Structure 1
Amino acid sequence: MSLRKPHSKSRFGCLPCKKRHIKCGEETPICRNCINRRVTCIYGLPRASSPRHASRATSSKDTCHTQCEQNNGMELPLTCRCGQDSMTQCAIPTTKLQELQLMVYYTTTTYETMANSLEDIEIWRKVVPKEAVQHDFLMDELLALSSLHFASQNPGSRWQFAEIAIQYQTSALRKYASALEHVTKDNCDALFICSILITILALAFPNVALMIVRLRERTDSIAESVDPERRQAYLSGIEALKTAFGLMKASTHLGPVIAWPAMVNEKLLKLFKQSDPIAQFIFIHYGVLLLYTRDRWWGRDIGVSLIESLACSLYATDPEWATWTEWARETAALAIQEDRRS
């Protein structure tokens, strides 16, 4: 009689492992099963608590040290960095004070920007917050909205609060996707409101600009020790991405996507072929640019495949890269979800 090795059940495995009915190792940001199968690893439920409750579960090893910045009389903690294992849970401050202040900002300022009439004002000021209290996915989305609105009104803190908004948005999308699998009369209103906010934030997020800034920051932090020729090659790729994304926002013509490899320094292409980490990091963002070709037979999977393969390669080199590739991986995951719905 064979004995099965017992293991504790967990609700926190990634969605691909759940779909295949196999045990997930729950490694972050990419579980080993997904690395081996080279698929996008998405966690439907946060491994730790949500951003609002994570402070109760943090250890001394991953303690978040936050800063504060005061703008327009409202003091809010800024973003922080933690240990790599807590990348998705502790990438933002987790103080109750911050979330209280974000809710105050929403109920005193942001809600007015959502309303088109007096009736709408009451809905956004009273009804929506009440629904958010009962549904975590909507609360995270509301905090993302408030963070991004605050960022838009305070240029000096724009990138800090845009990043905070991104973290809340990421948490909200995971919970929202899970809730969509179990629609009930109790959560249908919250799901509808959340879908509206997701659309609004998708239009409002300075995604490309933030991506370019973080790409430049990461490149600068590593490239300080490399020779000028290699550094110039990296910068040529970043500037070409900035130009291409700008052109794609103004037009649907795919020329900038196709022409990007010809716009970069030849040295960058050589570095990419040599599996240079920074070159791979830059090409991951070219993968995001390639997502514009998903409606063409020749480009349907190329962007997602490039992002997935390079993210796995960089993670194998150093798990710290997972923090820097998260935006591209999340963008690819959303693209996959959109394709499945269409």
Structure 2
Amino acid sequence: MHNRMLEIRLFHQYMTSTCQTLSQDGLSAYHMSITIPRMATSYPYLLDCILALSALHLATIEEDNRLLWLDAAVRYQSSACSGMSKILPDISPQHYEPAFVCSVLIFLFATGFPGMSPNSNRPSDPLSEVLEGRSLIAGSAMLFTRFYEIGVHAELNGWLCPPDTEENLAHKEENRSIMRSLENVRIIIEANQSPQKELYKDMWQLLHHAVQPWPKLGPQGGVFAWPFFVPEECISLLQGGDWVARIIFLHYSVSMRLMCHRWYVRDRGRRMVLATLEPLKEIPPEWTETISWMKEALGIDT
């Protein structure tokens, strides 16, 4: 009885609140509130995913019950992942769409959970978080391709809205400041003579295209989706501690501030900057001013 009441509460939370917050982010409100809940009644792993995300959302709303909701969120997320793992090896066409939705919701959960967990004050490895997200979204892309091949009669046809969805306008000046700093980085990259110069330019260009259309999401999902388009060679530079790549990555982290109104993003950008800078013993002179700007922009004590 306790589990039944809990699941009713979580499903009610999704239908009345959580789905609305997601439909503001470039996803069809009709599909989020009608198609996907109906689909979840036939696919238990998708239902578990909805319950997990709703519990995580409640953890941001009911601070007094935060640990209770986080516990429920983790349990249902674990169940969703377990269910997905059983159908993926030999996935059949009927599972393409529910598995795609489930993978997207799992990604959103993985984005939001680190900032809400009891250990959120401990800096984690921001690059590892991004790589985990790349892995999850790669699975989503594969499933999207599969169900798109089904044709226009697929249930999720039209789920992804046109790329002119607007973001919150509260951070207009912050956006301008980020663009100015990115331009300074471009000038330094142009003067760079290292063999990695073209990789730096590619990495910078992708981030510029992600930030520049704001407050619109842009054709590739805006800042939120930037890591998924970065070439593997650039990721290798980041893993190797390359400073130019690191500076561009830090600008991405600062840019996440533009989406802090999303409950599953919140202070993610600030945490990523802190976790990146904390282990560094010294900063190259050419980047001192840039790092100081980042700290000031995010309210980080120097």
Output the TM-score relative to the length of structure 2.
0.39
Report the structure, 1 or 2, having the larger helix content.
2
Output the TM-score relative to the length of structure 1.
0.35
